[in-house]
Structure 1
Amino acid sequence: MIQNQRTIKSEISLSGVGLHTGRKVTMTLKPAPVNHGYAFVRIDLEGQPIIPATVNYVVNTQRGTNLEKNGVVVNTSEHVLAAVYALEIDNILIEIDAPEPPIMDGSSQFFVEALEKVGIEEQDAPREEYIVKDIISYKDPESGSEIILMPSDEYQVTTMVDFGTKILGTQNASLDTLSDFKEEIAEARTFSFLHEIEMLLDNDLIKGGDLNNAIVYVDKDISETTTEKLKKIFNKESISVKPNGILDNLTLRWANEAARHKLLDVVGDLALVGTRFRGKIIANKPGHMVNTLFAKKLAKIIKTENRNKVPQFDLNEPPLMDIHKIMSILPHRPPFLLIDRILELTDSKVVGMKNVTMNEDFFVGHFPGAPVMPGVLQVEAMAQCGGILVLSTVPDPENYLTYFMKMDNVKFKQKVLPGDTLIFSCELITPIRRGICHMQAYAYSNNKLVAEAQLMAQIAKKN
């Protein structure tokens, strides 16, 4: 069953401090339009730059999953993204006035509560969901960490952690359905080992933590010097170790809270894939590095499959637009009108068709002994198809012309020969603004991808 995209009904703000910077930060969660996805906005910087929350912008995974675009960073993105993904929100804008979201209590529960407080609403556009059909895996040869994704009727996660320490031991956690995230996973807090805390303190890298937002497992004796540093950074008069091996002033919410938090991180990191997916994740010794490397692999697989996914239409059915309707919109005329039918048209996508016949004018001179449709004309045909999309946004398309502005990433995969039927699929990359259309275009024939390109064009009124 196809579901529609979702966003939140209104904006809501939370304030706190960043775990690693210690800086005060206000984060505002805002509704976003369809096909927007997840993105952060640094409102504290000039121009309020936007950093898309996709795996393409992951720059490092030290002490969290950190994003960067054009020198602008967002650190520790995973906890808020886990909440957004688990509540099945597709489009959201996350404004922050510092380099990282507030750590709150080290879990996702405050973010879940905030999102539920403002409410979630359905949008008028179908959601894209990748259905896992084959096992996909990634293993880090050095650490042995491994993530496996296999087919399942719904999104599920199982994590297994083993840090080789007596104090933590081996732990497992499972999420059987996303609807259980709030009760079973969201409250699981981040954790560290004492030796890691010492390193962070020595390098002045943990400033926003206290004993209420990070579980500290004591895996070694605490020296007097470390005790004094901990008392100062956590603003405590005394520091002691509880019988279960964690620093005091904090009670575990579950015996396997560490494994549950690792599961939370997996959900947040894999939200960076950029497409919702349905399958079961088994993560053995997960961490931000292996999570995001797997996310990159999955995103690439999804992109490749989508690119090669030929639109299916019954060509015996009447088209949405025939050649006469097309000529009432496009200014092109034979022999330079290169599309015959429009099969689908929405606010963001158009699908068109061309029958390539032997009597095409270009075959007279383009390898007449072995006729092949010129690649530049395939691009022109895709652009004309996109022209229908952009011209459909004005009430009088007959008074406009379309002009190329730019083409990128043009690739030709297969020859197009006389007798082929070309199917063109063009979809907006960004919303149409000021008559400028930026789209991803594909051309298919014989159930294969034959060409692709990113095209930008602008419509202008005739003189």
Structure 2
Amino acid sequence: MSKKQKTIQREVSLSGVGIHTGNTVKMTIKPAPVNHGFAFSRIDLEGAPIIEAKAEYVVNTQRGTNLERNGVQIQTSEHVLAAAVGLDIDNLLIELDSSEPPIMDGSSKYFVEALESAGIQEQDADIEEYVVKEIISFKDEVTGSEIILMPSDEYQVTTMVDFGTKILGTQNANLERISDFKEEIADARTFSFLHEIEMLLEHDLIKGGDLNNAIVYVDKELSAATMEKLKTAFKKDDIAVKPNGILDNLTLHWANEAARHKLLDVIGDLALVGMRIKGKVIANKPGHLVNTTFAKKLAKIIKQEKRNNVPQYDLNLPPLMDIHQIMDVLPHRPPFLLIDRIIELSDTHVVGMKNVTMNENFFVGHFPGSPVMPGVLQVEAMAQCGGVLVLHTVPDPENYLTYFMKMDKVKFKQKVLPGDTLTFKCELITPIRRGICHMQAYAYANGKIVAEAELMAQIARKK
């Protein structure tokens, strides 16, 4: 059963401050139509320009994932995007009257609550999901940070964090099901180390920070001068260090809250891929740079696969029609029977396949020193698949023959060699009328499109 896309039923608003700018910001999250995805709109700027939440727009990851398009910026996009993904939502328009969403408590908790209060609405369109079929990875050789994506029955994320400090040490976090995001991950707050806080305060870069929206791990001696700066910055009369090594006025939700927040960031950053992921993510020492670099890589892979439009079928499953059933329908026989199996068949499309071997008769004379399957035979094989489709419409296919009427827009894009497995897909361009079938046909091998053509054929009763 296919899953449907989701949005929210009505708009919802939150207000707060941006952690880096210190600006008061109102964020309004609105429903969006199918196939819209996630996008931000800067309503404080003329024309309310929109920036889609896509990896290609990432420009800076030093203190969050920052997007920019045509000079318009969105800062710290990851927490609200993680909330949307964690609630299985696909389409949202996020309006802001400043450059960054409110930091709230530094987690995704309040965004999750807001989205749930708005009501989640199923939409009349199937989800777009990238199904991971082989391991995809990226490693930053300088930092050692690495992300690996592997096949899995559902979206899962594991993070392994090692900051090389005694105060935090090594932590792991794991999310087995995205449906557990709200309970297991959403409340994990952002964090920083004391030495980072000092640098940020020195450069006036966390104007919206306080002890209620960021965990501060004290990884060095807290001097009196630093203590005074922190009191001023966080508007506190007194600041101390707890026994667990964090500044006071805040209690950890989990001992591994830092690793859980890193997992939250991974989910938010990988939302920039632009579609759901069906696979398991293992992130070792993740950060916004490695997360978004991997998101860019994955987005390019998905774009390339879409361009090739390569359908995926499990060729190990029993076929819909084997060679004997095909010969019951088609009048062709070896060496001119060029399909071995029918995998799918409906009123509007057919999918077939052929194993290309060195034993094929045509290799004897067609470039025998460098065997290549003739393009015309690839077209003939596609047409035979189409013949199965059109003969499927009559009750007694054994009494009919199929004849070519026209082929148009024929293109050959890759060589087909011995050992390749060819997959053919034919789809009706117009409904079959008077026995005439007009279809778009494709041939694929090795994850690439190798040939395509518009074909027209007619069925006629045997005389």
Report the counterpart of residue 249 of structure 2 in structure 1. 249
Report the counterpart of residue 283 of structure 2 in structure 1. 283
Tell me, yes or no, if structure 1 residue 31 matches structure 2 residue 31: yes
- Where 2:19 maps in the other structure, the secondary structure is coil
Deviation of 1:309 (Å): 2.9
Deviation of 1:238 (Å): 1.3
- Where 1:248 maps in the other structure, the secondary structure is coil
- Where 1:232 maps in the other structure, the secondary structure is helix
Q: How does 1:23-422 map to 2 (within 5 A)?
A: 23-310=23-310, 319=348, 413=413
Task: Kindly indicate whether the alpha-carbon contact (under 8 Å) linking 2:26 and 2:97 is maintained by their aligned counterparts in 1.
Answer: yes
Q: TM-score, normalised by structure 1?
A: 0.71
**Amino acid paired to 1:139:** K
**Amino acid paired to 2:64:** G
**Amino acid paired to 1:203:** H
Deviation of 1:148 (Å): 1.0
Report the counterpart of residue 17 of structure 2 in structure 1. 17
Q: What do the CA deviations read for 1:1-41 (whole angstroms, capped 9, x no partner)?
A: 32111100000000000000000000001000000000000
Task: Kindly indicate whether the alpha-carbon contact (under 8 Å) linking 1:310 and 1:444 is maintained by their aligned counterparts in 2.
Answer: no
Aligned in 2, Cα 1:222/1:310: closer, same or farther, shift over 3 Å?
closer
Q: Distance in 2 between matches of 1:319 and 1:84?
A: 36
Q: What do the CA deviations read for 1:418-456 (whole angstroms, capped 9, x no partner)?
A: xxx996899xxxxxxxxxxxxxxx98446653699xxxx
Q: What do the CA deviations read for 1:382-407 (whole angstroms, capped 9, x no partner)?
A: xxxxxxxxxxxxxxxxxxxxxxxxxx
Task: Kindly indicate whether the alpha-carbon contact (under 8 Å) linking 1:64 and 1:288 is maintained by their aligned counterparts in 2.
Answer: yes
Deviation of 1:240 (Å): 1.2
Aligned in 2, Cα 1:246/1:9: closer, same or farther, shift over 3 Å?
same
Q: Distance in 1 between matches of 2:239 and 2:441?
A: 66
The answer to which of 79-88 and 292-301 deviates more is 292-301
Deviation of 1:225 (Å): 2.2
Q: Distance in 2 between matches of 1:24 and 1:425?
A: 55
Q: Distance in 2 between matches of 1:67 and 1:356?
A: 56
- Where 1:220 maps in the other structure, the secondary structure is coil
Q: Distance in 2 between matches of 1:278 and 1:155?
A: 5
Task: Kindly indicate whether the alpha-carbon contact (under 8 Å) linking 2:413 and 2:450 is maintained by their aligned counterparts in 1.
Answer: yes
Q: Distance in 1 between matches of 2:450 and 2:251?
A: 60
**Amino acid paired to 2:219:** D
State the superposition RMSD in angstroms. Answer: 3.0
Consecutive unaligned residues in structure 2, runs of 5 or more: 313-341, 350-382, 390-401, 416-423, 430-439, 453-463
Consecutive unaligned residues in structure 1, runs of 5 or more: 321-339, 344-354, 361-372, 380-411, 416-420, 427-441, 453-463
Give the aligned length.
356
Q: Distance in 2 between matches of 1:282 and 1:30?
A: 32
Task: Kindly indicate whether the alpha-carbon contact (under 8 Å) linking 1:262 and 1:287 is maintained by their aligned counterparts in 2.
Answer: yes
Q: What do the CA deviations read for 1:160-195 (whole angstroms, capped 9, x no partner)?
A: 101000000111111111111111110010000000
Task: Kindly indicate whether the alpha-carbon contact (under 8 Å) linking 1:194 and 1:218 is maintained by their aligned counterparts in 2.
Answer: yes
**Amino acid paired to 1:79:** H
Q: Distance in 1 between matches of 2:271 and 2:279?
A: 13
Q: Distance in 2 between matches of 1:269 and 1:359?
A: 49
Task: Kindly indicate whether the alpha-carbon contact (under 8 Å) linking 1:356 and 1:422 is maintained by their aligned counterparts in 2.
Answer: no
Tell me, yes or no, if structure 1 residue 5 matches structure 2 residue 5: yes
Deviation of 1:298 (Å): 1.4
Bigger Rg, which one: 2
Q: What do the CA deviations read for 1:127-152 (whole angstroms, capped 9, x no partner)?
A: 11111121111111000011111111
Q: TM-score, normalised by structure 2?
A: 0.71
- Where 1:84 maps in the other structure, the secondary structure is helix
The answer to which of 107-116 and 222-231 deviates more is 222-231
Q: Distance in 2 between matches of 1:250 and 1:226?
A: 19
